[in-house]
Structure 1
Amino acid sequence: MSVSTHIDDAKTRIRCERDATEAKLDAIKRFTDRVKELPPEPTPRSVQGVTAAAGALSHVSHSTEDRCQIVRRTFAETIRPQITDDAEKSESLHATIEAEFSESLAVALAPTTETSFSPELKEAVVSEANIRRVEVDVLRRALRREASRLDDAGAVVTDITEWITAKNETPLTALDFDELHRRHETLTDHRDRCEALARQRQEFLRSTTNHGGEIGISHRNLIPYIYQDFPVDYPVLTTVARLDSTCEECQRAVRQHLVRRA
């Protein structure tokens, strides 16, 4: 009989997170590709100021839908659906762009700002999108590593749990001294496996997933964030600790029978 654990719940959560991350990566790529295809507007003669993030400020009138508006619409159609849930739908597009990219880009692209889609502004938008793509890709790789660790931990936990379940079908009173001794030794091996698994998990939590040494995600911060609404902060460590405790209780019962048979 299989027993559901916090690790199983964690696997389900990670699958959802990985799907969402892949969708966001695809959205960023589609956004970037469409912005790259959008030709910049020629710099108007009546330029009041130019910045890399804000483009060219001008009082020259634009077409019905200027290119900054096209960028905003493209963002709304691609990236925004992947980063807002139902509770955040009321957040303005300006606020979402600011949170995802930067305040200066949100201002530069805002319809209330008379900014042309200059080559500098186009480059700034593409550059910021590429940075976000790298950050999300680092997250994707961190989630993939977590999924692999969960599979490994789940296999160990399942193996030990199934062994305990099968052995519990035979009462200790039906075992002779040698059988009791072998069961006690096997439980020791299982506890060693639990200890090794807990140690490996701690090592994973102390590590990071990086991109070129510049962008990285600390697993110590990522794991509690992913499982923040779980009843436990660390699903793997909690499951392993409880399993080790179960093995210890089983050993105690076996030892009592061994003493009686000695």
Structure 2
Amino acid sequence: MSVETAVHVAFDRVDAETDRVDSLKPAFGRFDARVRDLEPVGGRSSSSTGPTRLADGGIAAAHHHSRQSGSPGTADDAAGSDRRIRTIRNAFARTVLSARGEGTDASAVAVVRAIRSEFGDEIAVALAPGTDARFTPAVKRAVRSAIATRRAELHAFRDALDRERESLRSARTDVDAVVSWIASADETPLSGLGFEALRDRHETLERHRERCAERLEARQATLGSATGHGAEAGLTHRSLVSHLYAVDGFSTPYPVISTVVRLIDCCESCQRSVRDHLTRRV
């Protein structure tokens, strides 16, 4: 991969990931609406009750209560709850799974596996087939709370992608300018330049080297920051970059830094060659 290509490929990667997030965000909104409109067994969940947090044990407590209750309607409730949970899995497949590009006709096992990857083990168990799980108000609140958390994470991730794109745009401008100048300058061999022309080339190389050094410093500052809601979501820009570029097509998760460092080395090497020719003219 050429010096400048790494930054251009990084730009394409960010665009692709942005498209993915922009597809997922409304999909989670549609999924939440479907869960919201589904009445749980045992009565409609109160809108005044706050969301159930997984750490509060809301799901486990609800399941324990359903197993201990021996009311005559338990069998009917269990059948209705199973239908509701199946409805939720189907809604997840039609919304989130479809947006992930995995189709809407996936098996129940594949759907539950995807639910686990998005929401964690407790939600996956609560929505899995073949269990004694019941779609109680507490379970409904826990599922909607998990959806809200995931949507907040996607919002933070989208903010981070916007910042990454802006950082890449600035880096691409600098890299393209330096690479273009070096390619043009190389068309004239140093042996064909006089003393003044050699000195001008050395000074221009120094300006390009300084420009790259400034870009390197700016990039490192970006990597050390959190973006938008990132601090709340636990998202640092460095973790975003590692996620984006630790894939096939990238020899390093830091393509901008790698590219700029190579350009700095190139400028310094060219300067040494120019100085060598300058000393010969003195």
Q: Indicate the TM-score class for this superposition, using the shorter chain for normalisation.
A: 0.7 to 0.9
Matching residue of 2:115: 97
SS at match of 2:227: strand
Match in the other structure for 2:258: 238
Question: In the alignment, is residue 108 of structure 1 matched against residue 114 of structure 2?
Answer: no
CA distance, structure 2, for counterparts of residue 247 and residue 85 of structure 1: 47
What is the root-mean-square deviation in Å for CA atoms of aligned residues? 2.6
Partners of 2:201 and 2:269 in 1: CA distance: 13
Contact 1:210–1:217 (CA under 8 A) maintained in structure 2: no
Match of 1:47 in 2: none
Tell me, yes or no, if the aligned pair for 1:210 and 1:216 is still in contact at 8 Å: no
Do 2:244 and 2:253's aligned partners in 1 also have CA atoms closer than 8 Å? no
- TM value normalised by structure 1: 0.86
The answer on 1:11 being equivalent to 2:28 is no
TM-superposed deviation, 1:28: 0.8
More helix by share: 2
In the alignment, the residues of structure 1 paired with residue 230 and residue 211 of structure 2 have an alpha-carbon distance, to the nearest angstrom, of 34
Whole-angstrom distance in 2 between the partners of 1:169 and 1:73: 63
In the alignment, structure 1 residue 71 sits paired with structure 2 residue 78: no
Q: CA deviation at 1:14?
A: 1.1
CA contact (8 A) 1:138 1:217 kept: yes
Match of 1:222 in 2: 240
Asked if structure 1 preserves the Cα contact closer than 8 Å seen for 2:3 and 2:263, the reply is no
Change (3 A) 1:78 1:176: same
> Which residue number corresponds to residue 271 of structure 2?
251
SS in 2 for 1:125: helix
Secondary structure at the counterpart of residue 209 of structure 1: coil
Report how far residue 188 of structure 1 moved.
0.4
Q: Is the 8 A contact 2:41 2:81 kept in 1?
A: no
Question: Of the candidates 24, 29, 53, which is equivalent to residue 59 of structure 2?
Answer: 53
Instruction: Give the alignment partner of residue 183 of structure 2, picking from 165, 173, 189.
Output: 165
**Structure 2 match to 1:48:** none
Partner residue of 1:185? 203
Specify whether residues 3 and 95 from structure 1 end up closer, same or farther in structure 2 by C-alpha distance, changes over 3 A only.
closer
By how many angstroms is 1:65 displaced? 6.8
- Give the direction of change, closer, same or farther, for the CA distance of 1:239–1:212 in structure 2 (3 Å limit): closer
| Contact in 1 for aligned 2:7/2:255 (Cα 8 Å) | yes
Aligned-residue offset at 1:31: 0.6
Structure with more of its chain in strand, by fraction: 1
Aligned equivalents of 2:138 and 2:128: distance in 1? 16
SS of 2:114's equivalent in the other structure is: helix
CA contact under 8 A between 2:198 and 2:274: conserved in structure 1?
yes
Residues 1:197 and 2:212 are matched in the alignment: no
Q: Aligned partners of 1:168 and 1:192: how far apart in 2?
A: 20
What is the CA distance between 1:132 and its match in structure 2? 0.3
The one-letter code sitting in structure 1 at the alignment partner of 2:179 is: T
Contact map agreement 2:24 2:96 (CA 8 A) in 1: yes
Once residues 102 and 263 of structure 2 are traced to their aligned partners in structure 1, the CA distance between those partners, rounded to angstroms, is: 37
Distance in 2 separating the partners of 1:241 and 1:31: 45
Unaligned runs of 5+ in 1: 45-50
User: Alpha carbons of 1:63 and 1:221: their partners in 2 closer, same or farther (altered >3 Å)?
Assistant: closer
Q: Is the 8 A contact 2:4 2:179 kept in 1?
A: no
Say if 1:153 and 1:197, in contact at 8 Å, map to a contact too: yes
Q: Verify the 8 A CA contact 1:209 1:216 in the aligned structure 2.
A: no
Gaps of 5+ in 2: 45-56, 68-73
Percentage of pairs with the same residue: 39
Instruction: Compute the TM-score of the two structures, normalised by the length of structure 2.
Output: 0.80
